[in-house]
Amino acid sequence: MRRMERAVTAADYERLAQEAAPERIARVRCVPRADLDKARGAENIDNQPADVSVVIMPRVSVETSRPRPDAALMQTVRNYLEPRRLLTTRLHVVG
C-alpha cells in the first residue's frame, strides 16, 4: 500500500521513469499536455489534454560524449510506464 505504482501527475511520471533504469538515467522531465514525439516546431506541441511526454537524459559515460538516449533505453522506459499510465493517456518518451 505504501508503494505508488500509478502515473497520474508529472511527478509520478518522473519518479517512475527514473525507476525504470536508475543506473542509466541521469534526469527525467515530464511535460504534460504535450506531444514532443512529433513536435518539430514550437507550434501545436502543448495543450493536448491526453498527451504526456517524458524527456530522458541518460548518464554520460567516458565512451559516450553525447547525452542522447538510445532506442533501447527509451523503449525500456516506455515499457515500464505503459502499464502504469492512466487508460486515456497517450505516452511519448523522447530524448
Q: Which three cell numbers stand for residue 49?
A: 489534454
Query: What is the Cα–Cα distance from 35 to 90, expressed in whole angstroms?
Result: 8
pLDDT reported for residue 80: 96
> In degrees, to the nearest 5, what angle opens at C-alpha 8 toward C-alphas 71 and 33?
70
Q: What is this structure's pTM? A: 0.83
Average pLDDT over residues 39-51: 68
Q: Which three cell numbers stand for residue 41?
A: 516546431
User: Residue 12: enclosing H or E segment and its boundaries?
Assistant: helix 10-20
State yes or no: pLDDT of 26 exceeds 70.
Answer: yes
pLDDT tens-digit profile of 50-81? 899 999 999 886 666 667 888 999 999 999 99
Instruction: Using alpha carbons, select from 38, 17, 39, 36 the residue that is nearest to residue 28.
Output: 17
pLDDT reported for residue 40: 58
